[in-house]
Homo-oligomer: A and B are copies of this chain.
Amino acid sequence: MKMAELSTASGVSAATIKYYQRERLLPAADKTAPNQADYTERHLERLRLIRALTEVGGLSVARAGAVIASIDSGEPVLYTFATAQHAISEHLDAADIDADALQHVDAAMPGWRVSPDNPGRLAAARVYETFVAVGQADEAGWLAGYAASALQAAEADLNEIDSRVGRDAQAETVVVGSVLGDRLFSGLRRAAQEHVASGRYPAPAYPDDYEEPTP
């Protein structure tokens, strides 16, 4: 298809498509004639992926480029995991994080094979510092419960990855699952909270003047 068709089909402007090509997020078109570029279904799929990563996943174009480069590199899927995790994580230095918070997080993951600079380990410890600062230290096995739950989510991630055929398809699932999986999970977590809370707490009748919050 021609550039105009690709732009219409993807909902991405021609200028933005050219920008993605310069930034190497999107492969060049096949040249069918000196001045004729031919785009394929593969270009369209790639544009959909870029939109999902940037518009829904909130990645910058540079970070989306890093994870896409990892898909295209042919490197082992295990590396793509590391690349994706770094792309979606704030850069943190273990030396800046409270040692007690790190210790508490590590204690919740007994026997796990996790590198000391895993961005998730550091991010969890940084958030846990904040919990402690506002008087919400873990007093009922909160972190251990979350860690057990995270393990189950990670097993689901890996099952899905294993179901894909071929290294490239697996790498793409790693990227999409890493970038969008947090939001999918947090949505389900809120539904689960309503389910569990409504089972544990007496369900008060809403007062007549109660208004649904609409912030």
A: residues with CB less than 8 A from B are 45, 48-49, 52, 56, 62-63, 66, 70, 76-79, 81-83, 85-87, 89, 91, 105, 108-109, 112-115, 118-128, 130-131, 133-136, 138-160, 162-163, 172-173, 176-178, 180-204, 206, 210, 212-215
Contact = CB atoms under 8 A, between A and B. Distances in A.
Given A176-B134, A215-B63, A124 B188 contact: yes
Contact of A199 (B49, B113, B133, B215): B113
A212 B175 CA distance: 17
A180 B158 CA distance: 25
In this complex, which of A121, A173, A186, A203 has the most chain B Cβ atoms within 10 angstroms of its Cβ?
A186
Contacts of A70: 213
Pick the 5 closest A-B CB pairs, nearest first: A120-B190, A145-B156, A124-B187, A154-B192, A123-B187
Tell which of A113, A119, A149, A197 has the most Cβ of chain B within 10 Å.
A149
Copies of the chain in the assembly: 2
A182 B27 CA distance: 35
Nearest to A206: B79
Contacts of A157: 142, 193, 196
Contacts of A48: 133-135
Contacts of A119: 187, 190
Contacts of A146: 153, 156, 181, 184-185, 188
A124 B204 contact: no
A115 B191 CA distance: 8
Tell me whether chain A's interface is mostly helix, strand or loop, or mixed.
helix
A70 B210 CA distance: 12
A13 B133 CA distance: 19
A150 B150 contact: no
A95 to B, nearest CB: 16
A105 B185 CA distance: 11
Nearest to A86: B213
A131 B176 contact: yes
